[in-house]
Structure 1
């Protein structure tokens, strides 16, 4: 048996590596095929390994035809972390043609964002977005578009499918955050972190409820959030602690909300100054893409204290509250029971949040920075029972460390059903 992981790049390989031990235990081979050379990666290996995971760039196969990749590798299942791009949709079309089952495992907690807005979860800063997009345009035109058009032709696509392709192509340049998911982005099965995301999968992909499963939140295990820590801060008045943590979600890396890197830095420094006037220290937990874009040294040069992954849980237990953008990581301090300020002020006033975060009993949307102190005093009085109920619905199946076993059980089940 063999599973083929398919991704736009190899940056998310950690999410596949965590499945290796369980796959190997069941005798299932695996391979990551990624499109790194179709993106902005100027240096890449056609074939390499990371912790027993074989990774091949698409250039290894010397083709734009994903059907040839599937024919060469003969996988029993193809596994995705997202499916909305043209390249991923091309792969799904070929999987359907060859009767290969597919899984889309959400790579984050989607409904931390406002997924119900007709305009999409984020306001696009077009100058920054086009700068981001045009850097990828040559390979998009010469690789991705021909690849998808070939898949339409070889899978006998309807006129409606071609019309959807043209519509999405236009929306990429006019309303990128409001693009609707196409039918060929739908996989055989969907895996989400917790029950709170099930409705999103059903509504977005028109998938049957019985094909959506909760498997657990891997961040709980990755950051060392054990059962003793879950809910441990919910009864504690943290107002007088000296530290505040800010969780970033890489908005500037993709041209969302902020017009430039310097504007975002100024925004963070404004928060830092205000917190210092309150007698509190400001720490930032940046998204990996933000770290790649700015560099840790650049952030620190501007006086921003960066929290590494290994210190995150320790810092959480010492913090007064957590300020956050719509980030999957924000679920962790909420599961601990800490106050959560949803940032929606100043240059970030357009940020919108989904039901998961808006329903958190110890959270609040912060529309004005000067209101931070009064809001913090208010959430210190929240009923801990309400927090426990929120944790039950949004925490995902426990224990979290068994998440890989749950995922692989779905892989095995679909393979057996198809044989």
Structure 2
């Protein structure tokens, strides 16, 4: 079986590493097909983490359909299911008889937070300047891909006309289109693999039938659950500076950074604001006797981080170990903050300054404490009952089986 991972760039390849080795052990041929050149100059072909990666430019075309026709995979695995180019991908797969699997790769606003998330996204992406910045790419690449894949499905005139309705709605209401797009039928994969029970209703609302949705657990948490079972957290896997903290009985907190800057300045974050935010937290925590360790998101450009020398930046370090040996964690909406909850560590969510605009997730579930003002005394209490409830509904799978479940769904498709 030829399994092709699809993404918008190579930075997200870490999302596929949890299943790649298992697929290969089952005799599958794997590769990453991406469209990074739609945004920046990239290598046409390279190998990253033992996965062959091919940009669309390698196939001498700008159309996803034509590239897939050449690649000829049995199944496509993608990480998104709401964008215009996701429509081009799924329509191309249908026209070519390729099976498709949506694999969740991060948290999603659901329930009472959904309306808030849509409003926030409208404020971020609905302004004129962001729209104009995206217009050139849309006209040159996105829209042609959408129509090309649509035509390859031999759709009716009215079906083609429906594309215009989708495009107009996306332009007028980019936030709503990101969460609840019009005509979702064009976006529906053959399988929808989600982290936990809390996402079932959202993806049904998006257009997936219940029998297409499988709760797999979060594959990134498999190593954590294995370590919990084996009791195998190891200090030796930590950076030297952090080991010295532990050896010298010094306390530290882990800040789980979320790459808002690299995500089109999401929520208005900029390099300067992020650096200021981290420096302020480090200075404040030092007064309480805590060192600050910042675990950078995989997509964060470390060259953009300019912070005090007493802040330790961790890029390629297992977050499980960092949190396990820490005193508490700090984050906003990252799914990685679940690690703190599972390890029974206090979790703080900054809500002052630039953080005010970020949607609330952990606080409303009563599994984290708000840090409303920088000068406030931090609260490290834990609501055990609420955390148990959260784990049941929002994490659901608490054994190291997520990657195996995903692979089994792919093999049986």
Could you report, residue by residue, the CA deviation over 1:61-106 in whole angstroms, capped at 9, with x for unpaired residues?
1123333233323222221111322222101012223333211101
Matched residue, 2:64 = 66
Q: Distance in 1 between matches of 2:166 and 2:399?
A: 42
2:245 aligned partner: none
Which residue is 2:238 aligned to?
A: none
Question: Which residue of the partner structure matches residue 96 of structure 2?
Answer: 98
Gaps of 5+ in 1: 233-239, 415-419
- Give the Å deviation of 1:118: 6.2
Give the structure 1 partner of residue 335 of structure 2.
328
Q: How does 1:214-293 map to 2 (within 5 A)?
A: 214-222=215-223, 226-228=227-229, 242-253=251-262, 254-292=264-302
Distance 1:177 1:341 in 2: 31
Q: Structure 2: how far apart are the matches of 1:312 and 1:22? A: 22
Between Structure 1 and Structure 2, how many residues are aligned? 389
User: Per the alignment, do residues 126 and 293 of structure 1 end up closer, same or farther by CA in structure 2, a change over 3 Å counting?
Assistant: farther
2:365 is the counterpart of 1:359: yes
Distance in 2, matches of 1:87 and 1:243, equals: 42
Q: Distance in 2 between matches of 1:210 and 1:90?
A: 24
Q: CA deviation at 1:122?
A: 5.1
Counterpart contact for 1:122–1:350, Cα < 8 Å: no
Verify the 8 A CA contact 2:6 2:33 in the aligned structure 1.
yes
Structure 1 contact 4–30 (Cα < 8 Å) conserved: yes
Partner in structure 2 of residue 417 of structure 1? none
Note if contact 1:38-1:140 (Cα within 8 Å) is conserved in structure 2. no
**Structure 2: runs of 5 or more not aligned:** 234-248
2:11 match: secondary structure: coil
Between the aligned partners of 1:322 and 1:201, the Cα distance in structure 2 is 30
Would the alpha carbon gap of residues 58 and 200 (structure 1) be closer, same or farther in structure 2, given more than 3 Å must change? same
Residues 282 and 50 from structure 1, CA distance in 2 versus in 1: closer, same or farther, beyond 3 angstroms? Answer: closer
Q: Which residue of 1 aligns with 2:161?
A: 159
**Equivalent in 336, 347, 356 of residue 349 of structure 1:** 356
**Equivalent residue, structure 2, for 1:22:** 22
Distance in 1 (alpha carbons) for counterparts of 2:6 and 2:318: 31
RMSD (Å), alpha carbons = 3.3
Alignment correspondent of 1:371: 376
Aligned-residue offset at 1:259: 4.9
Q: Does 1:180 align with 2:180?
A: yes
Q: Classify the secondary structure of the residue corresponding to 1:306.
A: strand
What is the CA-CA distance between 1:188 and the residue it aligns to? 1.6
Counterparts of 2:26 and 2:299 in 1: how far apart (Å)?
34
> Deviation digits for residues 220-271 of structure 1, max 9, x if unmatched?
23568622599x9xxxxxxx98322222211122212235311222122222
Structure 2 length as normaliser, TM-score? 0.82
TM-score (norm: length of structure 1): 0.81
User: In the alignment, is residue 13 of structure 1 matched against residue 13 of structure 2?
Assistant: yes
Q: Tell which deviates more after alignment, 285-294 or 207-216.
A: 285-294
Residues 263 and 50 (structure 1), Cα distance of their counterparts in 2 relative to 1, 3 Å cut: closer
